Amino acid sequence: MPAPRVQRTTTPKNHPDPTGLGFGKYFADHMATMEWVHDRGWLEPEIKPYGPIPMEPAAGVLHYGQAMFEGLKAFRGVDGVVRLFRADANARRMASGALRLCMPPPEPKLAEELCHALVAVDRDWVPAPAGTALYLRPTLVATEGFLGVRPSQRYLFFVFSSPVGAYYSNATGGLEPVKIKVELKMTRAAKGGIGAAKAAANYAASLYSAAEAKKQGYSQVLWMDAKDHAFVEEVGTMNLFAVINDELVTPPLSDSILAGVTRDSLMTLARDRGMKVIERPITREELESGKAKEVFGSGTAAVVSPVGELNFEGKKVVINDGAQGPVAKGLYEELTNIQRGAKPDTHGWLKEVK
Ligand code: COI
């Protein structure tokens, strides 16, 4: 990729205290943008000050929902060097999701390079303390103004970033087990649908259930399959893992489950540690009868989020006495140590931002 044109901000913002970042409250100074027009393809990318995106009221994204995003992180290593974690995997996932949503896939290498170029410009925004990162949000939306239902002929790909700490705000930086309501009526994604794409619509589909669960004192919901609610799919916005019979089990990828980069990383690290890792359907019955020694979610934002209690329509199943389990803790530490450069990156997941 030729180096993108960079227009630097003339009004840089103050950096927030890196020990109180929370998640997604602050935005770094710049964003990268690249337009796609049907008869020209992708136009030259640029990096410019973070700010509003002008859009027609008739823009396709606002009506027919052609929108998807990614989430990935840049870390400041213990050696001070800034590195991106598995940006190539996120870029590939965005390209395949874009096809499902009838959008032009940003070329993965180009998307990855644009993320690197953006972080190079906002390098100072990458926080240093353990448990923090610069979270990048590549996004693809339909921008053409029209009304007949069809794919848009104009798109905007943009990337902005946010210095973040723990996703769940609690004392242990996210490793505190959460209470989860098992959603046995509504569904997040169905067979044949768009659940495997990181489509904005999947998050819209999840909000009502999650809000109801929160009113009842739960952090999130456990999503089951759309047909019978018999098989476990995801937990909140995360992939799900369970430790059953000393094996690490996770539902196989399908068109209703997102192919998590953290999911893949944790499976690799667990295998490295000699654990048996199995992708197979997990039934409601297995979790309801208390067979799981541990249950946890995995995602870029929270990394690992242990589940301490599952509520099946009033029946409470406490997992590992409501405490953080050794597998979740071990994998969290292993992965975050690699991300911070405190442990060797034997899988080549980190790339230095030059
Ligand atoms: C993640 O786990 O990274 C997510 O998908 C959550 C994000 C949408 C904030």
The 10s digit of each residue's pLDDT in 17-74 is 999 999 999 999 999 999 999 999 999 999 999 999 999 999 999 999 999 999 999 9
The DSSP code for 123 is G
Ligand 1 atom having least distance to the Cα of 299: 2
Question: What confidence category does residue 168 fall into, taking pLDDT thresholds of 50, 70 and 90?
Answer: confident
Average pLDDT over residues 282-301: 97
Query: Does residue 167 surpass a pLDDT of 70?
Result: yes
Cβ(182)–Cβ(312) below 8 Å? yes
Q: Which of 90, 94, 135, 167 to mutate to test the pocket of ligand 1 (most atoms within 8 A of CB)?
A: 167
Ordered structural domains, the chain, with CATH: 5-165 (3.30.470.10), 178-339 (3.20.10.10)
Average pLDDT over residues 99-127: 98
Best CA proximity match to 147, nearest among 60, 65, 66, 56:
60
The verdict on the CB of residue 71 being under 6 Å from ligand 1 is: yes
Best CA proximity match to 307, nearest among 316, 326, 320:
320
Average pLDDT over residues 87-92: 98
pLDDT of residue 171: 46
The verdict on the CB of residue 300 being under 6 Å from ligand 1 is: yes
Query: Does residue 181 surpass a pLDDT of 60?
Result: yes
The verdict on the CB of residue 305 being under 6 Å from ligand 1 is: no
Best CA proximity match to 24, nearest among 63, 73, 66:
73
pLDDT of residue 206: 98
Tell me what the pLDDT averaged over the chain comes to.
96
Q: Which of 238, 258, 305 to mutate to test the pocket of ligand 1 (most atoms within 8 A of CB)?
A: 238
Cα-based angle 171, 165, 347 (whole degrees, multiple of 5): 110
Length of the chain: 354
The verdict on the CB of residue 299 being under 6 Å from ligand 1 is: yes
The Å distance, Cα 85 to ligand 1 centre, comes to 15
Query: Does residue 342 surpass a pLDDT of 70?
Result: yes
Query: Does residue 1 surpass a pLDDT of 80?
Result: no
Best CA proximity match to 166, nearest among 65, 305, 279, 317:
305
Query: Does residue 6 surpass a pLDDT of 70?
Result: yes
Question: What confidence category does residue 170 fall into, taking pLDDT thresholds of 50, 70 and 90?
Answer: low
Residues of the chain with pLDDT > 90, as a percent, come to: 96
Separation between Cα atoms, residue 255 and residue 235, nearest integer Å = 16
pTM of the predicted model, to two decimals? 0.97
